[in-house]
A = this chain, B = another copy of it.
């Protein structure tokens, strides 16, 4: 069994166990240098937190385990196709690569696909269902980012 298959089977086992306990069927494993750093399962059902996807929780747990918000050199193995929230989280913290076993096509008949969110976010901003407006409001205390740099450089 190669590394992909080994860790994807672990992610699937986590997902299956989560489903057995009433959760959604998603699990994820963060791996560094061939070893598991952290795991996560979908906890939306248990916590009511809409961001509690398996990959996001595994990333948070891995950062905690490694003592750094940077996960450069780590890989994510997910039972299902990572959604754009989780993929963006991977980009933000330096995840090297990812693999998944069940596709959005596999999930669609069960309402377990996030292909629609990918499709929305691929549209031009002004055509998306969720409008994001730029309103260049400023307060009286000067540029926020210049203020931050001033504080950070002390």
A interface residues, Cβ below 8 angstroms from B? 4-5, 8-9, 12-13, 15-16, 19-20, 22, 24-25, 44, 48-51, 56, 59-60, 63-64, 67-71, 79, 81-93, 95-103, 106-107, 109-110, 112, 114, 117, 120-122, 129-139, 141, 143-149, 151-152
Q: A51-B56, A110-B148, A144-B25 are in contact. Are A137 and B9 (CB under 8 A)?
A: yes
CB distance from A46 to the nearest CB of B (A): 11
Bound form: Cα–Cα A140–B144 in Å: 55
Partner of A4, one of B64, B100, B132, B135: B135
**Copies of chain A in the complex:** 2
Is there contact, CB below 8 Å, between B135 and A100? yes
